[in-house]
């Protein structure tokens, strides 16, 4: 089946939803969602959105903090662009009806690790969920927006692949996972808003949908990617056998939480003068160091000293979830471990969210705008989603009308149903385990080479499987994960230094000049 829209948006998180709502008054928009529309990494974001909203704060301070966290690999123009547009982005959310938490004299602002001021606006400790719920209601009600739930994009349709000799995206092939049918969706403009790739690792705070789809698809289409080695490991993921991927917000440390060893000893001041308020990469490496030093399964985050009333007011959802698991955070510390949390690199875009392929845009975690540098500052992620989604919308609306060529339907005449699905689950498990072991918080060249060798073997096996059997959701995700893992390793091997989230025992020093790790894919000759 073939469908046609003015704009195709792949991904239903904050970047995708905010772009759709901004476009829908004048464009027919399709939003592709891998699961239901409410399942996204954006909805899991607890802390809040960083923006300069207080007279005691400043644009320059926010920029300075972003650069400090990013080890000065940040793009100066992109960083200023995002920070200067922060207040407008928040005002837009307020206009949509997002119920941000109020304090004395206005909205309550919290402070998180790496920030020099209180500038994180939030909805208690479930900001992302509140924002998504507000926007989702509007999204589903808008007559110009078609939401295709339980659909997963397979690949982009480009002029290069069609033999047209141009460098343009015309849409995508999309699998309806309920029916097993592949749709051909044509659109003059396509926005990648698929999020990151946390599921490439064994332990992650990300939802199951975070499989690097947009990054892998863009790479196969010919887009440039950069800085994929910078995978942010959130320092404090709840450590409990029944707590899959539950994040303990940065705001817990921002509001006075203390990291302790099992015997109660505080350890962060020995690692950094900022202690628990150090950036995430510093805290994650410190926890990793202490766990390895003492052979620990976890460390503990203690907020009990702030009192029951304070905790229930600021962290009601974290308190409730921990209590379900038998942990009363008003009386005892929270067991935590680092886990893969955020992909700082991605598809290279400009200030209008354009990729290197005409008609193809990227916003949010899938993109590498230059904002995050070598490490994302806490609560800058949702801000980036909003600002660059708007930038993409403005560019899309400025484009002249374009006639699309007739697109070929998906060809599955030479494939059969898979006879052994266990191959997919086995490869998925192997990939995530060796990525955790060899391409984790602390790296060596030997480990990276070993991982690269394993990746190449897996890629050949998965490509053969893909060529011979009908596509399924699991196969598409595995295919994308292995490409994304390869990009992470290739970028890591290019970096002969330690900077931000990338720490190499072979190159422990930081180079005097910060340079991004850029990968360009050779275009196919037609």
Residue ranges covered by each domain of the chain: 2-229+344-398, 235-340, 422-502
Q: How confident is the model over 4-18, as pLDDT tens digits?
A: 999 999 999 999 999
Among 111, 168, 280, 516, the one annotated catalytic:
280
| Lowest mean pLDDT, pick from 73-82, 105-114, 220-229, 479-488 | 105-114
Alpha helices in 99-158 (DSSP H): 127-141
What is the C-alpha separation between 427 and 424, in angstroms, rounded? 5
Both tokens of 447, joined, read 């480990």
305's CB contacts (< 8 A; 6+ apart) are 256, 258
Q: Are 261 and 299 in contact (CB under 8 A)?
A: yes
**pLDDT, average across residues 411-416:** 85
H-state helical runs in 188-299: 213-221, 250-254, 280-294
Q: What residues are paired with 49 via a beta bridge?
A: 121
CATH class in words for 235-340? alpha beta
Contact of 20 with 40, CB cutoff 8 Å: no
CA distances in angstroms from 311 to 43, 45, 302, listed in the order given: 22, 18, 11
Phi first, then psi, for residue 339 (nearest 5°) are -150, 150
The answer to whether 236 and 318 are in contact (CB under 8 A) is no
By CB neighbour count within 10 A (0-12 exposed, 13-18 middle, 19+ buried), where does 419 fall? exposed
Residue 511 has pLDDT above 80, yes or no: yes
Average pLDDT over residues 320-329: 96
Whether residue 526 is predicted with pLDDT greater than 50 in this model: the reply is no
Tell me, yes or no, if 280 is annotated catalytic. yes
C-alpha count within 13 angstroms, C-beta hemisphere, residue 469? 20
* Composition of the chain by helix, strand, coil, percent to 5: 40, 20, 40
Query: What is the domain class of 422-502 according to CATH?
Result: mainly alpha
Q: Using one digit for the tens of pLDDT, what is the confidence trace for 236-274?
A: 999 998 887 788 988 899 999 999 999 999 999 999 999
Look at residue 525 in the predicted model and tell me its pLDDT.
Answer: 45
Q: Which residues contact 443 (CB under 8 A, 6 or more apart)?
A: 492, 502, 503, 504, 505
2-229+344-398 in CATH: which number? 3.50.50.60
User: For a pLDDT cut of 90, what percent of the chain falls above it?
Assistant: 83
Q: Is the pLDDT of residue 175 over 70?
A: yes
Listed range (54-58, 163-167, 257-261, 340-344) with the worst mean pLDDT: 163-167
Beta strands in 256-369 (DSSP E): 258-260, 299-302, 334-343, 346-348, 360-362, 367-368
165: helix, strand or coil: coil
């Amino acid at each position: 089946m073939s469908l046609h829209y003015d704009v195709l948006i792949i991904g239903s998180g904050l970047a995708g939803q905010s772009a759709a709502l901004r476009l829908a008054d004048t464009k027919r928009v399709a939003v592709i969602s891998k699961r239901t529309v409410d399942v996204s990494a954006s909805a899991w974001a607890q802390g809040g959105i960083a923006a300069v909203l207080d007279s005691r704060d400043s644009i320059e301070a926010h920029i300075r903090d972003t650069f400090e966290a990013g080890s000065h690999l940040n793009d100066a123009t992109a960083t200023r662009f995002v920070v200067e547009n922060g207040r407008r982005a928040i005002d837009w959310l307020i206009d949509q009806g997002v119920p941000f938490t109020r304090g004395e004299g206005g909205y309550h602002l919290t402070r998180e690790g790496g920030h020099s001021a209180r500038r994180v606006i939030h909805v208690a400790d479930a900001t992302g969920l509140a924002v998504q719920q507000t926007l989702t209601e509007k999204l589903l009600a808008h007559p110009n927006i078609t939401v295709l739930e339980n659909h997963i994009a397979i690949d982009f349709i480009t002029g290069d692949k069609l033999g047209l000799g141009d460098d343009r995206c015309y849409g995508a092939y999309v699998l309806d996972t309920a029916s097993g049918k592949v749709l051909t969706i044509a659109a003059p403009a396509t926005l990648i808003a698929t999020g990151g790739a946390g599921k490439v690792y064994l332990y992650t705070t990300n939802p199951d949908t975070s499989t690097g789809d947009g990054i892998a698809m863009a790479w196969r289409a010919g887009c440039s990617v950069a800085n994929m080695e910078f995978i942010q490991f959130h320092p404090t993921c709840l450590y409990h056998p029944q707590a899959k991927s539950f994040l303990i917000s940065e705001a817990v440390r921002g509001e006075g939480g203390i990291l302790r060893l099992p015997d109660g000893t505080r350890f962060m001041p020995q690692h950094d003068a900022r202690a628990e308020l150090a950036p995430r990469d510093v805290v994650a490496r410190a926890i990793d160091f202490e766990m390895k030093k003492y052979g620990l399964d976890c460390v503990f985050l203690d907020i009990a000293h702030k009192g029951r009333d304070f905790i229930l007011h600021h962290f009601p959802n974290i308190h409730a979830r921990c209590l379900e698991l038998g942990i009363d955070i008003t009386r005892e510390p929270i067991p935590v471990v680092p886990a893969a949390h955020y992909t700082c690199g991605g598809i290279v875009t400009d200030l209008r969210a354009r990729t290197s392929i005409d008609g193809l845009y990227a916003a949010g975690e899938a993109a590498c705008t230059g904002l995050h540098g070598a490490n994302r500052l806490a609560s800058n992620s949702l801000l980036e989603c909003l600002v660059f989604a708007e930038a993409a919308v403005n560019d899309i609306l400025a484009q002249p009308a374009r006639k699309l060529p007739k697109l070929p339907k998906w060809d599955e005449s030479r494939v059969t149903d898979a006879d052994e699905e266990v191959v997919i689950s086995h490869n998925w498990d192997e990939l995530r385990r060796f990525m955790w072991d060899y391409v984790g918080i602390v790296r060596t060249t030997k480990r990276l080479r070993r991982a690269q060798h394993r990746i190449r073997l897996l890629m050949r096996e998965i490509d053969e499987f893909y060529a011979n059997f009908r596509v399924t959701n699991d196969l598409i995700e595995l295919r994308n994960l292995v490409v994304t893992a390869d990009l992470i390793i290739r970028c890591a091997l290019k970096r002969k230094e330690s900077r931000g989230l990338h720490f190499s025992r072979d190159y422990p020093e930081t180079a005097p000049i910060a340079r991004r790790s850029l990968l360009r894919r050779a275009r196919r000759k037609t």
